[in-house]
Structure 1
């Protein structure tokens, strides 16, 4: 099995500023894209509808009573007046808005954070391969590199894991990357990890054994996996380092 993750020293580079407008308390999450949050603006409390731009369960972050950070929606006609940006976990704010994954992954590629992806001739977003549309096709000379990006917000006992909800789409993306390798292309997965306490990364076979098994097959096929650690501090996303793989895939409780 090829393990492509290593553990270099932290670089701590500021990546992206994300404005937040108010801190609130989660009341409930009626569905995966909607939350009800109580906010206090100038001494006036109100319960607001908030858009959750993350399809994951987020059960250790979005639970009643937890603190969250919101940004006012730019479109005043939208049904939800606010966007969920981050949620509290211990002493950390965790970025839980996947709308920023494109900007963060572009920063990784453009700033040559990963040797395999550095100094590309061409970077094409949202390219079709097989039955899927993958996040990037990167071209370096005669080499094509197919890239998929995943965001990781789940961590337990300093172990970051993905997914936090079953994902047939995620497994299909892995299958496509395996196919790309079989056709002679390079392939890579960027795992954007937003749990700064994490020390290693693993696929979560407790939540989704099919994804975890496909993840193992992808490694065996030579798909490169890069678990990248970020934090969200003072409205700024900060890149820290590449994490190693944990010793075991989470298959059992």
Structure 2
């Protein structure tokens, strides 16, 4: 195991030396946990040109993704020494993508924080799990199932085409333009004053998105990108 890890670190150093820097940014990331979430994330990061080290305790998962990732290793990252031997402390970014094992998620996150990884993301499976990770000091906590559930609920129950909510009760919505704002410039319809939202983009059928201005005339069938407080954008999207 130690020989394998030593060889892995040597290969990573060689690849790093041979690969030109991308604008000075360190585009290396360790993804710990290669289940559905972790493997999907790792694959997308690879597609975007990142150097990805995938780690899991399941040798079958590691074997499955070994050819599609920059590096892959079988290791138990609840042990701080395993992280050290893999050189994860040298990375500026790491993602704890462990599934239902809350204890392992917490232990691995603690080890990465102890190793002073500057940019740590961790998946949580519940709000309570997320709160624990935040108290540990994890920089970014994501609840993919919960957040996707909320997002889909907004799409199913309303006229929204897409919905993204941020932590401070602020949201961005894509919706078909309500009739009450069509046929006139945005400045004249006074969307911000009347509805408490800002239209930042507009898309006409068959055209691409463009920035919206006060002089933009909204037409029937236009798709708008709207921002504002969550309750305000929800109400705006429900207008007829």
Report TM bin, short chain.
Answer: under 0.3
In terms of fraction of residues, the more strand-rich structure is 1
| Structure 1 length-normalised TM | 0.24
Higher relative contact order (CA 8 A, sep 6+): 1
